[in-house]
Amino acid sequence: MITNVCLLLEMLSFTFCLHALYREKFRLDITTISFLAIYMIIMALINYYALPQQYTLIMYMLIILYCGVKFKFNIKIILINVIFSIIIIGGIQMLIMLILFYVLDISWFTDYQLLLANCLAFLVIVLLLPKSKIYKVMNYLQTKEKIQNIVLAICIALIVYCLLSYKEFTRVELNQAILLFISISCIFVLAEQLGRYKVKAKEAETELKMHKLYADSFQGLIENIRLRQHEIDNHIHTIYSQHYIYNTYTDLVKAQDDYCRILTQENRFNKLLKSRNHIIAGFLYGKFVEIDKLGIEVDYEVKIMDLNVNVPIYKIVEILGDLINNAVEALERTEGINKLYVSLVENERFEIEVRNESPFIDYDMIEQFFTKGFSNKGQNRGLGLYNVKNICKEFALDICCENINIDGINWLSFKIIKDNTISSRN
């Protein structure tokens, strides 16, 4: 009888602790009473009717089910609160038993003394736990990194316990074997998660470096526009005054057209400011300025919103850089052609296109472009397109390379396409 009372007090303490962690007032409603009744039946079968000890594992499933019905089926929160409740109850019981051991000089606890310890533990939990605001600790712990550290510590402790138990008794019980298997599995899962976090941390670090690197280029574009804004009055005055110089209307129109064309050419990269992504705008501006100095004529179209394509921004920059470099090198090798077109569009699908004027390229040759080390520049230098292919494979991007004819001129076009972007689905 005393054993049953101890078990009931222990589970009442545990249930009360769960309610405190969920910030819910403890009530003996039908759900809680049913949970306690099933628990007592299972423990009675184990203690008095020789039901194997392994069936105590059913209690963990019962506790999870109770938390889901009583509160909410959020497995992560349930596991955290259950584990933390076990730690709290065990810690309080251990502390009380140590106090009784030293104060009352008890070396062996009888049933009545265990009942006293459980009563004191229950009173401590009922009286002190609601005032401690323990839920704040749980809110603090409910971040992925802290959860993983806690789980890792628990798994290591369980493994050490199982090893010490085996060393002492030279055998492993079924429940210990199950705990050992679960703990080792969790450690492997955590190791895999750690690898993912390292990759994400590296991506975040790379994107931060890109923000710093291309922020200067984007700022240079803004400063360039600001400087030219001061010259706008002079340009307007020049255009307006040309009617004093030319005698015929035809000459005036031609002169104004030529002058406006020059102004447009000088400010042709200003449209990059319309891009919402400063990294892309800064990168393309710096790239276009370099290409312009080589005497290559650049045309472009950039219509991007938030770039919600599940591809890190630095990978998009890598793709653009490799494709543009490849096109520029092809133009430099071939005389008589100097036109490059770059497009970056995000609407119903995300698409990058880089194309350059080119002699017709056989499709067997195009297939070799993406082979590691293939290049017209020399051995083991053709890594750009191979890198593009690997990025596309990693992030499920489609890549297309083809000859296209525009106004009787052949262009070699590289397209990177991703259908069903996040922005189009929302």
Q: What is the pLDDT of residues 171-195, one digit of tens each?
A: 666 666 776 777 777 777 777 777 7
Q: Which CATH class is domain 268-425?
A: alpha beta
How far is CA 174 from each of CA 17, 66, 154, 317, 337, rounded to the nearest angstrom? 29, 25, 19, 55, 77
- Percentage of the residues of the chain whose pLDDT score is greater than 70: 73
Q: In 112-145, which positions are buried (b, 16+ CB within 10 angstroms) versus exposed (e)? A: eebbbbbebbbeebeeebeeeebeeebeeeeeee
Q: How confident is the model at residue 410 (pLDDT cuts 50, 70, 90)?
A: very high
**Which of 29-43, 153-167, 377-391 is the most confident on average?**
29-43
Average pLDDT of the residues in 263-275: 67
- Is 90 exceeded by the pLDDT of residue 268? no
Closest CA to 37 of 58, 13, 11: 11
Its pTM stands at 0.51
Output the pLDDT for position 378: 43
DSSP state of 267: T
Range in 135-139, 233-237, 254-258 the model is least confident about? 233-237
Integer Cα distance of 344 and 308 in angstroms: 13
Closest CA to 414 of 403, 400, 395, 404: 400
Output the pLDDT for position 423: 42
- Is 80 exceeded by the pLDDT of residue 272? no
- Is 80 exceeded by the pLDDT of residue 217? no
Closest CA to 361 of 410, 320, 305, 326: 410
Pairing of strands 339-346, 297-303: parallel
Using alpha carbons only, what angle is made at residue 294 by residues 370 and 216, rounded to the nearest 5 degrees? 85
Residue type present at position 41: I
- Is 50 exceeded by the pLDDT of residue 154? yes
The encoded tokens of residue 94 equal 């251990």
Q: In sequence order, what are the beta bridge partners of 412? A: 356, 403
Task: Considering the chain, tell me which residue range(s) the CATH 3.30.565.10 domain(s) occupy.
Answer: 268-425
More confident residue, 351 or 243: 351
Residue type present at position 53: Q
Sheet containing 297-303, strands listed edge to edge, beginning at the edge strand earlier in sequence: 297-303, 339-346, 349-357, 409-419, 398-406
Backbone angles phi, psi at 399, to 5 degrees: -125, 135
Q: How confident is the model at residue 409 (pLDDT cuts 50, 70, 90)?
A: very high
- Is 90 exceeded by the pLDDT of residue 353? yes
pLDDT, tens only, 44-103: 888 888 778 777 778 888 888 999 898 888 887 888 788 888 888 888 888 888 887 777
More confident residue, 41 or 217: 41
CA R_g for the chain: 36
Helix (H) or strand (E) segment spanning residue 164: helix 144-169
Average pLDDT of the residues in 294-322: 85
Output the pLDDT for position 403: 93
Integer Cα distance of 394 and 310 in angstroms: 11
Pairing of strands 409-419, 398-406: antiparallel
Average pLDDT of the residues in 158-179: 68
Integer Cα distance of 203 and 37 in angstroms: 52
HSE-CB of 121 using CA atoms within 13 angstroms: 31
Q: In sequence order, what are the beta bridge partners of 267? A: none
Coil, helix or strand at residue 396: coil
Query: Checking phi first, is residue 311 left (phi over 0); if not, alpha (psi -120 to 50) or beta?
Result: beta
Integer Cα distance of 130 and 12 in angstroms: 15
Output the pLDDT for position 404: 93
Q: How confident is the model at residue 416 (pLDDT cuts 50, 70, 90)?
A: very high
Average pLDDT of the residues in 101-111: 72
Q: Do the Cβ atoms of 356 and 414 come closer than 8 Å?
A: no
Integer Cα distance of 55 and 70 in angstroms: 23
